[in-house]
A and B are shown apart, each in its own frame.
Chain A
Amino acid sequence: MSAVPAIRVEGLQKSFGANHVLRGIDFRVDVGEVVCVIGPSGSGKSTLLRCVNRLEEADDGSILIEGEDIRDPDADVDLLRSRIGMVFQSFNLFPHLSVLRNLTIAQRRVRRRGRDGADRVARENLARVGLAEKADAYPAHLSGGQQQRVAIARALSMEPDMMLFDEPTSALDPELVGEVLAVMRDLARDGMTMMIVTHEMGFAREVADRVVFMDGGVVVEEGPPDRVLGDPAHERTRRFLQMVR
């Protein structure tokens, strides 16, 4: 494990108007680590994830991406973001572009790759998520599970150092959840650094190196999945786990 964490968050504060969503979060993800963040809705876990790549502006605290402060006014946020893959609950594929163009547009416009190079990377990543034959399809013609796998391949095509997943299976029909989790499992096995906000407890227990439980804008407890999910130290964690079972 590298000395500099992939993500290091300290004292993070965030409010939406009068709603104090994050109340001093300390959080880290090491290089190659898979961290699942769980907790009831409204606990601030998605907001934490969205602050990490500055889609949401934190009010206070520091967020270091591989040691670089993404909140620094002089930071090149676009460059930092291009090293952080993100997968959304609602996929957010670009509906006016074919699957292949979804995967190449940022490579070409941000990474300045040529068409051939970008196409090659895109097709490799489509094959990786099992959708090589869908390169010319449009997003509207894919199932939810396929769309989410394309979204993962789109993020991977930027060859990011880490991946953020914001409830990647919450918008899917139950029978489509498995195919997306399978892709994420493969990614974890390949050593990708991952921060995953999820309600899939079985997946968290199987894949995570560490589970973080959040409630009310604070990290209540964290540790190995077997301990946090199997034998939680806090009453709040225990109550939450009983409810989701």
Chain B
Amino acid sequence: MTRRQRQRLLRGALYASAVLVVLALVAVADWELLRRNFLDVDIAAEMFPDVLLVAARNTILYTALAFTFGLALGLVLALMRLSSIAPYRWFATAYIEVFRGLPALLTIFLVGFGIPIAFQTRWPVLAQITLGLGIVAAAYMAETIRAGIEAVPRGQMEAARSLGMSRGRAMASIVIPQGFRIIVPPLTNELVLLIKDTSLLFVLGTTPATKELTKFGRDVLTSRANATPLIVVGAVYLLITIPLTQVVAVLERRNARSR
């Protein structure tokens, strides 16, 4: 037997045993029980239309708010990290290290408990959500934005300055727009992560009108003692994230053509 034949035989045996294991598990699994617990059509039907009109809507709203806040704060932090003023750099570095290092859940908790104590008032729930998730998102996005700005060739800043633009004007008109084009893929990635992180917001407390997808699904799961809601909300998440990444890919292709 040649070396090549031996390799092919070995690979074939591996595939065959993997298929056998899967088949065995499929045969042994209790499909009727699975169906009843995960694919109960009646329970799934009960979740509509609220799963879309309330829960999915809230997930998208919270993501949009946190992303906008995170992007704005992230840009400020990125510029501080690139600043020639040392204390700005220190602050930005410390911020990024702290909020990338802490679990998002912990940060959201801190915001939820901290604000009422600090200001002796309860902030509107949307403000807490924006702040809690946005603080974390900003830390990640700051590093992405900084990398984008640094990827713009130095000649771009020089050309802008040679035309009489101030440093800030050159940043705003020439460098930052190019930097953002470079970081569209990693920013999309962070947006998708943020969509999923909205599932942590339940710790701020919810009312029926403020539930996002995961909390909504878990509440139905508890009340009906059935796992079907998890399948339903899972499908809704994919319904949001997959078209989003596809749209961004199309935008990016169109963008690449003008470069």
> Once the chains are docked, how many angstroms separate the CA of A105 from the CA of B160?
9
A88 neighbours in B (Cβ, 8 Å): 155, 158-159, 162
Give the contact stretch, choosing among A16-24, A75-83, A172-180: A75-83
A84 neighbours in B (Cβ, 8 Å): 162
| Cβ–Cβ contact A82 & B164, under 8 A | yes
- Asked if B165 is at the interface of the complex by the 8 Å CB criterion, the answer is yes
Min CB distance, A58 to chain B, in Å?
Answer: 16
| Cβ–Cβ contact B181 & A106, under 8 A | no
B166 neighbours in A (Cβ, 8 Å): 78
| Cβ–Cβ contact A82 & B163, under 8 A | yes
Min CB distance, B176 to chain A, in Å?
Answer: 10
Give the contact stretch, choosing among A36-44, A90-98, A114-122, A210-218: A90-98
| Cβ–Cβ contact B162 & A55, under 8 A | yes
| Cβ–Cβ contact B158 & A55, under 8 A | yes
B158 neighbours in A (Cβ, 8 Å): 55, 88, 92
Chain A minimum-CB-distance residue to B172: A109
| Contact with A106, one of B156, B164, B177 (Cβ below 8 angstroms) | B164
Within 8 A of B (CB), among A12-32: none
> Once the chains are docked, how many angstroms separate the CA of A93 from the CA of B166?
17
Chain A minimum-CB-distance residue to B164: A82
| Cβ–Cβ contact B259 & A110, under 8 A | no
Chain B minimum-CB-distance residue to A108: B173
Within 8 A of B (CB), among A227-241: none
Min CB distance, B253 to chain A, in Å?
Answer: 15
| Cβ–Cβ contact A158 & B163, under 8 A | yes
Known: A95-B259, A138-B258. A81 touches B164 (CB 8 A): yes
> Once the chains are docked, how many angstroms separate the CA of A151 from the CA of B159?
9
| Cβ–Cβ contact B165 & A92, under 8 A | no
| Cβ–Cβ contact B164 & A92, under 8 A | no
| Cβ–Cβ contact A78 & B162, under 8 A | no
| Contact with B164, one of A90, A96, A140, A158 (Cβ below 8 angstroms) | A158
Min CB distance, A57 to chain B, in Å?
Answer: 13
Chain A interface residue count, CB cutoff 8 Å, equals: 28
B164 neighbours in A (Cβ, 8 Å): 78-79, 81-83, 106, 110-111, 158
Known: A138-B258, A140-B259. A92 touches B155 (CB 8 A): yes
| Cβ–Cβ contact B258 & A55, under 8 A | no
- Asked if B178 is at the interface of the complex by the 8 Å CB criterion, the answer is yes
- Asked if B161 is at the interface of the complex by the 8 Å CB criterion, the answer is yes
- Asked if B169 is at the interface of the complex by the 8 Å CB criterion, the answer is yes
Interface centre among A85, A96, A111 (most CB of B within 10 A): A96
Min CB distance, A137 to chain B, in Å?
Answer: 10
| Contact with A81, one of B153, B161, B259 (Cβ below 8 angstroms) | B161
Within 8 A of A (CB), among B158-204: 158-166, 169, 173-174, 177-178, 181
| Cβ–Cβ contact A81 & B177, under 8 A | no
CB within 8 Å of A: which residues of B? 153, 155-156, 158-166, 169, 173-174, 177-178, 181, 258-259
27 contacts between A and B (CB under 8 A): A78-B161, A81-B161, A82-B163, A82-B164, A84-B162, A88-B158, A88-B162, A90-B155, A92-B155, A92-B156, A94-B156, A94-B159, A94-B160, A94-B174, A94-B178, A95-B178, A95-B259, A96-B177, A96-B258, A105-B163, A106-B163, A109-B169, A109-B173, A110-B169, A140-B258, A151-B159, A154-B163
CB within 8 Å of B: which residues of A? 53, 55, 78-79, 81-86, 88, 90, 92-96, 105-106, 109-111, 138, 140, 151, 154-155, 158
